Amino acid sequence: MSEQLLRLDHITMQFGGVVAVDDLELVVNEGEIVALIGPNGAGKTTAFNVITGVYQPTNGAVWFDGAKIIENHPQGKMKKQYKGQCDGLYTETLSPTPDKITRAGMARTFQNIRLWKTQTVFDNVLIAKHCRSTSSVFSAAFRLNRKEEAAQRAQVEELLEIVGLSDVKNELATSLPYGKQRRLEIARALAAEPKLLLLDEPAAGMNPQETEELTAFIGEIREKFKITILLIEHHMNLVMGISDRIYVLDFGKLIAHGTPAEIQKNQRVIDAYLGVADDA
């Protein structure tokens, strides 16, 4: 049995009076591709932001690679307002900034592409290597880190070769067509040498053909990098095609999880997506 890489325990995220994610339990095992799906506003991206440290959860804990990386419980004003469950189960507060989490071995992409606009394709990927660099400002400024720098550049070359972007490596990132920008964002995330890759709607805004290419691409990445992937997606073809397991969120709550085949047959999932007729 493969090991658990990521585990969410009773994660609840409440904004004011709105519970965006309610008592979410989620496990990603090493080597898996897990998809998080759900209708718009179900709380998928919020869950992502909690995992990557952008938001501090209101309650719950996140375990990654055998260590607890995030934990929180309702505090201050939230104590009275808290509407979620498992109040009192957690006592610690552990909320690292996103960069720490990335260095711990997670890297993400964004729903709306966030590349560094004035940088070339090559530099975009190279900058992501910065978090793995061990040189101090002085050694970097006075070029005492030549070896490391050269190694990083070589790795980036190789990475760009694998993702098929080496022919455009000196172009500005924003001059690329949309599909390639998506690819570049994934390459950039891979450059941070993650164990877990988080993809936030990688196929958003893509036509069926591009989506198909992307599906193949994600499969390739998993093979080549032996990496675990958690993704949010709306394109069911993509999700059903590559996921090992699927979690379904609706109104912040987990309504189902299982293999693609199970999910496709699940009545609650179908209801959530298609809506339940009022007179039923």
d(CA 69, CA 63): 6
Residue 123 to residues 69, 116, 217, Cα–Cα distance (Å)? 30, 9, 22
H or E element, residue 231 = strand 228-232
**Between residue 125 and residue 164, which ones bind another protein under the rule CB under 8 A?**
126-133, 135, 137, 140-143, 145, 149-150, 152
From the list 34-42, 61-69, 123-131, 205-213, the region that binds another protein by CB under 8 A is: 123-131
d(CA 221, CA 130): 22
Counts for the chain of helices (H) and strands (E), in that order: 11, 10
d(CA 23, CA 10): 4
From the list 4-12, 36-44, 76-84, 91-99, the region that binds another protein by CB under 8 A is: 91-99
Q: Which position among 39, 98, 258, 260 is part of the footprint of another protein (CB under 8 A)?
A: 98
Cβ proximity to another protein: between 51 and 246 the closer is 51
Cβ proximity to another protein: between 197 and 240 the closer is 197
Q: How many residues bind another protein (CB under 8 A)?
A: 40
H or E element, residue 247 = strand 245-250
Q: Which position among 63, 110, 217, 225 is part of the footprint of another protein (CB under 8 A)?
A: 110
d(CA 114, CA 174): 10
Cβ proximity to another protein: between 106 and 246 the closer is 106
**Interaction between residue 117 and another protein (CB under 8 A):** yes
Q: Write the DSSP symbol of residue 199.
A: E
**Interaction between residue 225 and another protein (CB under 8 A):** no
Q: Please provide residue 128's backbone torsions phi and psi, each rounded to the nearest 5 degrees.
A: -65, -20
Question: Measured from the CB of residue 183, what is the shortest distance to another protein in angstroms?
Answer: 16
Name the 3-class secondary structure at 224. helix
Site string for another protein, 27-66 (x = CB under 8 A): ----------------------x--x-x------------
Q: Which residues bind another protein (CB under 8 A)?
A: 49, 52, 54, 97-100, 102-103, 107-108, 110, 114-119, 123, 126-133, 135, 137, 140-143, 145, 149-150, 152, 188-189, 192
